[in-house]
Amino acid sequence: LAYEVPALPYDYAALEPHIDEATMKLHHDKHHQAYVTKLNAPIEKHPELAQHSPEDLIRHLNTVPEDIRTAVRNNGGGHVNHTMFWSIMKPNGGGEPTGAIAEQIKQDFGSFEDFKTAFNTAAGAQFGSGWGWLVWDGKLKIVTTANQDNPLTNGHFPILGNDVWEHAYYLKYQNKRPDYLAAWWNTVNWDEVNKRFEKARQK
Ligand code: MN
């Protein structure tokens, strides 16, 4: 198979109480797996594409053959988004940002608190399924996308993103997306976010 779901780098229950074990199991084993399965199927029709990383497929979506472009956009996006998502969280995460990203957040948003408020407001206002993102575009910007669209398609490197599909929070938080958004910051792996920030600035 061309693409595979990466193993979760911690236990399903490791992000409790912020993200519950049942949600993590379903989200990783069923939802992420479904995106990968539905990405591999169309790639079989164009096996030459399998040499590309999923990020490259999403970055150059306009070069993907038209008959599978929507499938790659949705399911390749789902794969890339969730692979990032697991990696930017960790047990006992959260707290104040560290390193270079802490400085840049201060510079571009005034303070971490102001940044969090702006991010949660944007992600809370995303109508229906989608993601809230912190991207690098010469400066830090907050954007949202619908469905599984990734900022890479618009030329923006995603430094962190939070999944606001109902499958990400409904078992524990039901309709209270703002509560999920507030709790999610307690899971953030700032070391990994800093690695992504460094990568973003190199591009
Ligand atoms: Mn998801």
Note the pLDDT tens digit of each residue in 152-171: 999 999 999 999 999 999 99
Ranges of residues in the chain whose predicted pLDDT is under 70: none
Query: How close is the Cα of 172 to the center of ligand 1, in Å?
Result: 14
Query: How close is the Cα of 203 to the center of ligand 1, in Å?
Result: 27
Query: How close is the Cα of 31 to the center of ligand 1, in Å?
Result: 6
Looking at the chain, the number of H-run helices and the number of E-run strands are 10, 3
pTM of structure: 0.97
Question: CA angle, 196 as apex, 186 and 146 as ends, to 5°?
Answer: 75
Query: How close is the Cα of 107 to the center of ligand 1, in Å?
Result: 30
- Strand-strand pairing, 130-136 and 157-163: antiparallel
Q: In whole angstroms, what is the distance from residue 164 CA to residue 177 CA?
A: 8
Q: Which residues contact 162 (CB under 8 A, 6 or more apart)?
A: 85, 119, 123, 131, 132, 168, 181, 184
How many other C-beta atoms are found inside a 10 Å radius of the C-beta of residue 64? 21
Which pLDDT does position 203 carry in this prediction? 73
Query: How close is the Cα of 68 to the center of ligand 1, in Å?
Result: 21
Query: How close is the Cα of 130 to the center of ligand 1, in Å?
Result: 9
Which pLDDT does position 200 carry in this prediction? 96
What's the token pair of residue 81? 């988004």
- 30-51 per-position pLDDT tens digit: 999 999 999 999 999 999 999 9
Query: How close is the Cα of 192 to the center of ligand 1, in Å?
Result: 19
Query: How close is the Cα of 165 to the center of ligand 1, in Å?
Result: 6
Query: How close is the Cα of 162 to the center of ligand 1, in Å?
Result: 9
